[in-house]
């Protein structure tokens, strides 16, 4: 009885009632940033550092990466031939998803429109099979924040896993284009193998293909000093073939893909 009298007195004095429910207290700001971290080991296939988040409503968001101190491989043989980390970022809106595959380096970021995001980071370093390589795990951090990425940040890219490759005179080499990765262009770098004579005149043909059918061809004059260049990707292409038209010079070639985002 005393409790009932006190409650009625409070209502009478302040003219309000007490409601209990699941309404969110809007005076408490919601988080607009999320982060996750973990460790990877060079050459170890399988383990991933991941983060899956339902975001703060439909909007533009940015994923940014940070890589800790790089490992110091110790080996009796060559062991680690190329240190590399990649991530797959999957943006989801209304139950439909698009994916982007990117190389993970300090400060690299990628933006997308989403209600949810899933990020999976894995080590893709190249290690010689059977080598007695001793490596130190390295830390990878993932951060997601509301808003588009800054224009002065490192844009999203993906290094081709095959390169760099050597292409003999009058020979050819190829790079597979990863599908469903958001690739829009290719940054092609061509150089002369150390010890080769510098060609005075020649050319290199770059062919974008699917099922061995050419979709687009770009001919590049080459004199040994040709700077790297960007080429828009032909829709539907799943391979880049590079033909060395020089008759006596071996070249090396590498490809880095530009990623939408």
Q: What is the mean pLDDT of the chain?
A: 78
Question: pLDDT at residue 147 above 50?
Answer: yes
Residue-wise pLDDT for 108-135, tens only, equals 899 999 999 999 999 888 766 555 556 6
Does the fold of domain 159-259 match that of domain 33-155? yes
Region 135-142 average pLDDT: 85
Q: Collect contacts of 70-74 with beta carbons under 8 A, ≥24 apart.
A: 70/138, 71/41, 71/42, 71/135, 71/136, 71/137, 71/138, 72/136, 73/42, 73/133, 73/134, 73/135, 74/133, 74/134, 74/135
Question: pLDDT at residue 10 above 80?
Answer: no
Question: pLDDT at residue 27 above 70?
Answer: no
pLDDT reported for residue 6: 32
- What is the C-alpha to C-alpha distance for residues 30 and 142, in angstroms, rounded to an integer? 19
Q: Residue ranges of the domains in the chain?
A: 33-155, 159-259
pTM for the structure as a whole: 0.77
How does DSSP classify residue 149? Answer: P
159-259: which CATH number, 3.40.50.740, 2.60.120.680, 3.40.50.300, 2.20.25.240? 2.60.120.680
pLDDT reported for residue 155: 85
Q: What is the CATH number of domain 33-155?
A: 2.60.120.380
Q: Quick one: pLDDT band at residue 240, thresholds 50, 70, 90? A: very high
pLDDT reported for residue 103: 93
Q: State what percent of residues in the chain have pLDDT above 90.
A: 33
Residue-wise pLDDT for 37-90, tens only, equals 899 888 777 778 989 888 888 999 999 998 887 655 554 445 556 778 999 999
């Amino acid at each position: 009885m005393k409790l009932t009298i006190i409650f009625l007195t409070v209502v009478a004095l302040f003219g309000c009632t007490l409601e209990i429910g699941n309404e969110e207290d809007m005076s408490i700001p919601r988080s607009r940033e999320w982060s996750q971290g973990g460790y990877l080991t060079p050459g170890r296939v399988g383990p991933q550092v991941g983060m899956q988040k339902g975001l703060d409503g439909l909007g533009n968001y940015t994923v940014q990466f940070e890589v800790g101190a790089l490992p110091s491989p110790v080996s009796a043989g060559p062991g680690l031939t190329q240190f590399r980390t990649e991530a797959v970022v999957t943006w989801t809106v209304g139950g439909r998803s698009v994916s982007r595959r990117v190389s993970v380096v300090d400060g690299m970021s990628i933006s997308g429109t989403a209600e949810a995001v899933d990020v999976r980071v894995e080590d893709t370093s190249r290690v010689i099979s059977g080598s007695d390589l001793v490596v130190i795990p390295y830390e990878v951090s993932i951060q997601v924040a509301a808003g588009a990425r800054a224009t002065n940040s490192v844009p999203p890219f993906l290094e081709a896993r095959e390169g760099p490759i050597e292409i003999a005179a009058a020979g050819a080499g190829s790079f597979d284009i990863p599908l469903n990765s958001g690739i829009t262009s290719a940054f092609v770098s061509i150089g002369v193998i150390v010890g080769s004579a510098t060609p005075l005149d020649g050319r290199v043909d770059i062919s974008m293909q699917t099922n061995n059918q050419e979709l687009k061809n770009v001919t590049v004059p080459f004199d040994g000093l040709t700077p790297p260049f960007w080429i828009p990707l032909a829709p539907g292409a799943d391979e880049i073939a590079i033909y060395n038209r020089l008759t006596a010079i071996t070249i090396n070639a590498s490809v880095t893909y530009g990623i939408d985002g």
